[in-house]
Amino acid sequence: MATAAAHNTDHHHEETFVSKYIFSMDHKMISKQFLITGMIMAVIGMIMSSLFRLQLGWQGESFAVLNFFLGDKWAPDGILDPNMYLALVTIHGTIMVFFLLTGGLSGTFANLLIPLQIGARDMASGFINMLSYWFFLASSVIMVFSLFVETGPASGGWTVYPPLSALPQAMPGSGMGMTLWLVSMSLFIVSSLLGGLNYVVTVINLRTKGMTMTRLPLSVWALFVTAIIGVLSFPVLFSAALLLIFDRMFGTSFYLSDIHIAGEVLEQTGGSPILYEHLFWFLGHPEVYIVLLPALGITSEVIATNARKPIFGYRAMIGSILAIAFLSFIVWGHHMFITGMNPFLGAVFTFTTLLIAIPSAVKAFNYITTLWKGNIRFTPAMLFSIGMVSTFISGGVTGIILADSALDINLHDTYFVVAHFHIVMGLSAVLAMYAGVYHWFPKMYGKMMNRKLGYAHFWLTFVCAYGVFFPQHFLGLAGVPRRYYTNSEFPMFDEFVGLNELVSIFAIVGALAQFIFMFNFFYSMARGQKATENPWGSNTLEWTTPVEHIHGNWPGPLPTVHRWAYDYSKPGKEQDFVPQTVPLEDGEMDGGAGH
Amino acid sequence: MVTFLIIVAIVLAGLAIMQLMRVFEGTTKLKGGDNTLPTNSENIYQSRMMLAFVAGYFIFFAWLMAEFGDKLLPESASEHGVVLDNLLNFNFAIITLVFVITHVALFYFAYKYVFSSERKALFFTHSNKLELLWTTVPAVFLAVIIVYGLNAWWDITDDAPAGSLNIELYPKQFDWTARYAGSDTTLGASNYNMISGTNPLGLITKGSIAAFTAELREEVVGLKEQLEAAPKGGLKEEELTETIAKRERQLKRIATFESLNEASLAAGNDDVLVKNEFYIPVNRSVNFTFRSRDVIHSAYMPHFRAQMNCVPGMTTSFNFLPTFTTAEMRQKTGNDEFEYYLLCNKICGAAHYNMKMVIKVVSEEEYNNWISEQKTFAESFQPAEEGMTEVNQPTGNEISMIEQ
């Protein structure tokens, strides 16, 4: 708070290049740093997926491009090595879940939106905020570096279950690559915690005058609750990682017992790999919502703005965010139905998991109702948001099946699961992240992105995304296991050779389409049309700040808030939006709040 | 293939660049025009694309159903699997309905309510009635799903009925061994400390203890000789000392098994170990237990709708009643080469994708014939030969030794 108070309006200090662009403590710059770092990581993760899709689409065939990226060691004669295949899926998962959709998504939008939308001059602690980014960068660098160690990067799947990940003799990727993975993740968790604490404290303490909790935009609500979930669950992953490091390096046996590997009896006894699974998923499931809630928050904002209509059921939306957050902590066991857990426990987790469908359904119906009788402008951001609602539903409904412990028996770890979580979590969050970038680009860079390229990007991405993941439900229902280097060992999967090829073509075209976005992003940053202060006609506070970024956000005193964020198309008003800073007229009710 | 892909890539890149050029020509023409909000024609075009998309999405779904709907798993070959398939279909009916209704609404509204400067959107902030409706309706459906699902779950996870056939599935990187309890219907005791080239599951019998103890002692003697010859204070000396200590600790652990009671020590003798394929009789419940030698594996038998993780350090179990023989299933599927498979479904290393066993479901009579032809553990167990110390090498020898 001291930092924010010190930066008073007319007090503007000169900044050097280093303090402005590199060791910046300004939330807007840190937000851009998170975004660019996340994008670089995403490109790496995406290229990896294209590489292993080549193998899965045309199994055992030779591709010069594989040899180009992976070299003679991991793709001799252009044929992917099975160990490298596992490494690719592992690092792809790690990068996408953590570096893009946790660090990249929350890091970008929590930093950008929280201070701007609550009317604060900056985060509660600019220094901790900067530290959060630098830990994130360090962990990204280490993760990328791990790709180049001799035995290859971590390869035990993104969940890195021991004993596979604990024993270097179990697979090459469990050597140095795994050590670096654990170091990288530990730094990542530190980054997440520093960021998360800052977001929570900022939302609680630095809201401007009149910005009550029930006037907060849903984006801030979502980012706020996300940060709370992260702060409560990431330490558990940290302990899981720490214990795994101990098992790997110091001969402890938290996760190891009764193992005979590479011709030797291991002397560690008494541990259990299941303990790791519990610790991992205690973070791992809330993590899904750490990824998804910001996406839902962004979507709420973009849909309301571009439908020119208040978000339907504002309070119900907050309620469902809170319900989802609470439930997310008591469902982790549904990842472990077939680990031999007590059937009673399985039943409890089935029950709690299916409960999540209720607040999720409320959210989906509320989005649809928001569109009903709206006045919809199809900006690229709006397209991505509508796409997000579609993937949220398409992926969400299959969750009902997987939540059922009995049905999970036959679908666990098959492509049905791959399809489910990629659609409901991966696609939803990625589409929403794009929506966020298109929507707030004018605020981040003071320029407009090219709309036509945005349209091309959306349609290619959206169609290809479904083309990749929708058919995978069928693979799963046929019993095809995930993480198989090839399916050719089982004649029962021969029917799906063509389908796998189709999926791979969609994946590669979809990946190429992302370069349209990259081009648009950097081109617009340099040469895009100059943005106006409030290009979309939004109500929220960030659009009352000047286009050119200034330290402290508002040139004059902080704005005062008089109403909720969703007075779009309010009867009796001339314009179809009423910014939050406009005082209520005599007898005017404040939005959806209060009645 | 490579050239084909390169050509595709070049064509795509060319198309993309052409498209870019056109776009930029378009934008420069609009010089001075405001590029912020979509134009009317863009809005209308995109709204129509919404309809086109949802139609295309449904067509894609229908095409996949038509093309692959009959190539999924065949009719369940286990009793509980039928229940599961019905449950799955029931769930699918509900979620497909929800999926279709919500998608029609979502994309139709997006199409219908396209922007017009002539009108304003409806200021509709909330409706307690509506929200109550779509809280309670999903809740009711979920209640049904939960009750239905958990009923199935209790039945499936129930203990195996008396008279079940006991089989242990034992995975390691990267193969499976199936162990039958033998005539005493009891699986003999086992321990990972007992694993050797001739005893891949580490069964504890009087014979295996004696043989393995002798083997390890001999190895220790050999190591001690090497130690004396090794230069003092070197790395080699340290290594050898450590290995000797390790083997001696293992010997001590093995010595404790001798105090097991006679019955336990005898139970393993008639156990039968098989690789590559195993037989089960039709219409008799099979009680599978699972352990693992090294990392987590998962025993997945999709045709029987059965799966259970195999976790080192613990024993898990799953039981089911197979209802169709392999021959019957071949008839049903019209595929003369149809086989039931056991797959590994938990990432376990490089050859994870190739860790399998064929499951033969046969008549009780065929099963009895087959099992009587198999060698018991006592018969197949050949103590290591004199001087053979490198029994711990994890080689393919184990397989052939057992099968001989």
Dig out the tokens for B138 from the structure.
Answer: 């999903």
Residue A591 C-alpha, separation from nearest chain B C-alpha, in angstroms: 7
**Minimum-distance CB partner of A378 among B46, B250, B349:** B46
Provide the pLDDT for residue A591.
Answer: 72
Residues A286 and A234 sit within 8 Å (Cβ to Cβ) = no
Give the position of tokens 């709690």.
A352
**Minimum-distance CB partner of A512 among B12, B43, B316:** B12
Provide the pLDDT for residue B400.
Answer: 38
Least confident of A297-311, B201-215, B369-383: B369-383
* Chain A residues inside the 8 Å CB shell of B311: 272-274, 339-340
C-alpha–C-alpha distance, residues B77 and B359, integer Å: 12
**pLDDT above 70 for B387:** no
**pLDDT above 70 for A179:** yes
Dig out the tokens for B289 from the structure.
Answer: 């237990």
Provide the pLDDT for residue B26.
Answer: 58
Provide the pLDDT for residue B236.
Answer: 87
- Among residues A297, A587, A554, the alpha carbon closest in space to that of A429 is found at A297
- pLDDT over 70, % of chain B: 87
Q: Read off the pLDDT band of B389 (50, 70, 90).
A: very low
**B39–A contact, CB cutoff 8 A:** no
Provide the pLDDT for residue A18.
Answer: 78
Provide the pLDDT for residue A276.
Answer: 97
> B124–A312: do the CB atoms touch at under 8 Å?
yes
- Among residues B305, B251, B267, B296, the alpha carbon closest in space to that of B88 is found at B305
Q: Where are the alpha helices (DSSP H) in A21-60?
A: 27-57
**pLDDT above 70 for B32:** no
Give the position of tokens 């402890």.
A252
C-alpha–C-alpha distance, residues A143 and A146, integer Å: 5
C-alpha–C-alpha distance, residues A531 and A548, integer Å: 10
Provide the pLDDT for residue B22.
Answer: 59
Give, in order, the Cα–Cα distances in Å from B337 to each of A340, B105, B328.
33, 47, 12
> A340–B109: do the CB atoms touch at under 8 Å?
no
Residue B273 C-alpha, separation from nearest chain A C-alpha, in angstroms: 19
* Chain B residues inside the 8 Å CB shell of A316: 126, 131
Dig out the tokens for A585 from the structure.
Answer: 């007229």
Provide the pLDDT for residue B13.
Answer: 74
Residues A591 and B125 sit within 8 Å (Cβ to Cβ) = yes
Provide the pLDDT for residue A2.
Answer: 42
**pLDDT above 50 for A229:** yes
Least confident of A92-101, A410-419, B153-162, B382-391: B382-391
C-alpha–C-alpha distance, residues A342 and A347, integer Å: 9
Higher local confidence (pLDDT), A317 or A21: A317
Give, in order, the Cα–Cα distances in Å from A165 to each of A237, B300, B393.
15, 22, 22
Least confident of A444-448, A574-578, B26-30: B26-30
C-alpha–C-alpha distance, residues A323 and A316, integer Å: 10
Least confident of A3-7, A443-447, B396-400: B396-400
* Chain A residues inside the 8 Å CB shell of B102: 364-365, 368, 393
pLDDT tens-digit map of A343-368: 999 999 999 999 999 999 999 999 99
Q: Read off the pLDDT band of A12 (50, 70, 90).
A: low
**B63–A contact, CB cutoff 8 A:** no
User: A189-212 burial string, b = 16+ CB within 10 Å, else e?
Assistant: bbbbbbbbbbbbbbbeebbbeebe
* Chain A residues inside the 8 Å CB shell of B64: 470-471, 474
- Among residues A271, A268, A44, A227, the alpha carbon closest in space to that of A124 is found at A227
Residue B96 C-alpha, separation from nearest chain A C-alpha, in angstroms: 8
State which amino acid sits at residue A343.
P
Give, in order, the Cα–Cα distances in Å from B321 to each of B154, B341, B343.
15, 16, 19
**Minimum-distance CB partner of A478 among B73, B125, B153:** B73
Higher local confidence (pLDDT), B318 or B231: B318
State the Cα angle at B228 between B224 and B230, rounded to 5°.
110
R_g (Cα) of chain B, nearest Å: 32
The helix/strand/coil state of B106 is helix
A141 contact partners, CB below 8 Å, separation of at least 6:
none
Give the position of tokens 């929350």.
A106
**B370–A contact, CB cutoff 8 A:** no
User: A503-538 burial string, b = 16+ CB within 10 Å, else e?
Assistant: bbbbbbbbbbbbebbeebbebbeeebbebeebbbbb
- pLDDT over 90, % of chain A: 92
Strands B277-281 and B356-362: parallel
Q: Where are the alpha helices (DSSP H) in A96-175?
A: 105-118, 126-145
What's the rounded mean pLDDT across residues A248-254? 94
**B246–A contact, CB cutoff 8 A:** yes
- pLDDT over 90, % of chain B: 78
* Chain A residues inside the 8 Å CB shell of B69: 474
State which H helix or E strand residue B317 sits in.
strand B316-320
Provide the pLDDT for residue A23.
Answer: 84
What's the rounded mean pLDDT across residues B213-231? 93
> B99–A576: do the CB atoms touch at under 8 Å?
no
> B120–A576: do the CB atoms touch at under 8 Å?
yes
- Among residues A217, A430, A210, the alpha carbon closest in space to that of A317 is found at A217
Q: Read off the pLDDT band of B1 (50, 70, 90).
A: low
Give, in order, the Cα–Cα distances in Å from B133 to each of A55, A548, A591, B128.
48, 47, 22, 8
**Minimum-distance CB partner of B121 among A82, A309, A516:** A309
C-alpha–C-alpha distance, residues A110 and A116, integer Å: 10
**pLDDT above 90 for B235:** no
pLDDT tens-digit map of A45-85: 999 999 999 999 999 899 999 999 999 999 999 999 999 99
What's the rounded mean pLDDT across residues B309-337? 96
| DSSP at B164 | P
Residue A8 C-alpha, separation from nearest chain B C-alpha, in angstroms: 32
**What is the chain B residue with the closest CA to A60?**
B1
**pLDDT above 60 for B393:** no
Residues A383 and A460 sit within 8 Å (Cβ to Cβ) = no
Higher local confidence (pLDDT), A373 or B22: A373
State which amino acid sits at residue A133.
Y
* Chain A residues inside the 8 Å CB shell of B105: 368, 372
10 Å CB burial of residue A148 (0-12, 13-18, 19+) is: exposed
> B353–A484: do the CB atoms touch at under 8 Å?
yes
- Among residues A404, A414, A413, the alpha carbon closest in space to that of A473 is found at A414
What's the rounded mean pLDDT across residues A333-349? 95
**What is the chain B residue with the closest CA to A364?**
B102
* Chain A residues inside the 8 Å CB shell of B344: 481
Neighbours of A78 (CB within 10 A): 18
Provide the pLDDT for residue A16.
Answer: 79
Peptide bond into A471 cis (omega under 30): no
State which H helix or E strand residue A420 sits in.
helix A415-421
Sign of the CA dihedral running B177, B178, B179, B182: negative
> A63–B352: do the CB atoms touch at under 8 Å?
no
Beta strands in B85-220 (DSSP E): 165-172, 175-180
C-alpha–C-alpha distance, residues A526 and A520, integer Å: 10
Give the position of tokens 């298109």.
A438
Q: Read off the pLDDT band of A211 (50, 70, 90).
A: very high
Dig out the tokens for A22 from the structure.
Answer: 């590199």
Neighbours of A144 (CB within 10 A): 18
> A389–B106: do the CB atoms touch at under 8 Å?
yes
Give the position of tokens 């912020």.
B36
> B298–A591: do the CB atoms touch at under 8 Å?
no
Provide the pLDDT for residue B231.
Answer: 85
**What is the chain B residue with the closest CA to A485?**
B353
Provide the pLDDT for residue A194.
Answer: 97
Residues B254 and B211 sit within 8 Å (Cβ to Cβ) = no
Provide the pLDDT for residue A7.
Answer: 47
What's the rounded mean pLDDT across residues A507-529? 94
Residues A214 and A180 sit within 8 Å (Cβ to Cβ) = no
> B313–A271: do the CB atoms touch at under 8 Å?
yes
Least confident of B50-54, B259-263, B368-372, B381-385: B381-385
> B130–A369: do the CB atoms touch at under 8 Å?
yes
Measured over all CA atoms, what is the biggest interatomic distance in chain A, rounded to whole angstroms? 83
What's the rounded mean pLDDT across residues A551-560? 94
Sheet with B165-172, edge to edge strand ranges: B272-275, B175-180, B165-172, B286-290, B316-320
Please give the torsion angle defined by the CA atoms of residues A143, A148, A149 and A154, in that order, rounded to the nearest 10 degrees: 50
A-B CB pairs within 8 A amount to 387
Average pLDDT, chain A: 94
- pLDDT over 70, % of chain A: 97
* Chain A residues inside the 8 Å CB shell of B87: 404, 406-407
pLDDT tens-digit map of A27-55: 999 999 999 999 999 999 999 999 999 99
* Residue A572 φ/ψ region, left for φ over 0, alpha for ψ in the -120 to 50 degree band, beta for the rest: left
> B307–A398: do the CB atoms touch at under 8 Å?
no
**pLDDT above 90 for B269:** yes
* Chain A residues inside the 8 Å CB shell of B351: 82
Provide the pLDDT for residue B4.
Answer: 66
**pLDDT above 70 for B385:** no
Higher local confidence (pLDDT), B337 or B8: B337
Provide the pLDDT for residue A320.
Answer: 96
DSSP secondary structure string for all residues of A80-105? --HHHHHHHHHHHHHIIIIIIIIIIH
- Among residues B228, B204, B250, the alpha carbon closest in space to that of B392 is found at B250
What's the rounded mean pLDDT across residues B341-351? 96
* Chain A residues inside the 8 Å CB shell of B84: 406-407, 409-410
**Minimum-distance CB partner of A257 among B20, B119, B313:** B313
State which amino acid sits at residue B389.
T
**pLDDT above 70 for B25:** no
Higher local confidence (pLDDT), A3 or A173: A173
**pLDDT above 50 for B69:** yes
